[in-house]
Amino acid sequence: MKLVAVVACTSGIAHTYIAKEKLIKAAEKRGHTIKVETQGTIGIEGNLTKEDIEEADLVIMATDIQTTGNERFDDKKKLKVSTSIAVKASEQLIKKIEDEIQQ
């Protein structure tokens, strides 16, 4: 499965990058590919391309704040969670996504 994610916490520093790493590890552990864009105090990093988004089976929005560019995902299946879920339960989150995609 191909996933993309946007991650942004309220301060735009610690939880953003911890959530990014946890999502990557959990997805790869279960055999999926994932590309993660972060939005925070230092701007946008890891910009998702149009191709990344088109190829994705699902978009994870692990955000605690309003993010920019969300219209890019209007035609995609999305799952919105807080960054704390991505940090504390990333493996369970990926499993939930697998279950939803299979339905």
pTM listed for this prediction: 0.95
| Interval 34-59: pLDDT, tens | 999 999 888 999 999 999 999 999 99
CA distances from 103 to 41, 97, 98 (A): 38, 10, 9
Residue 9 known to be catalytic: yes
Total residue count of the chain as it appears in this document: 103
Which residue is catalytic, options 9, 18, 58, 87? 9
pLDDT, position 11: 81
Write down all domains in the chain, each with its CATH number in brackets.
2-86 (3.40.50.2300)
Q: How far apart are CA 8 and CA 20, in angstroms?
A: 9
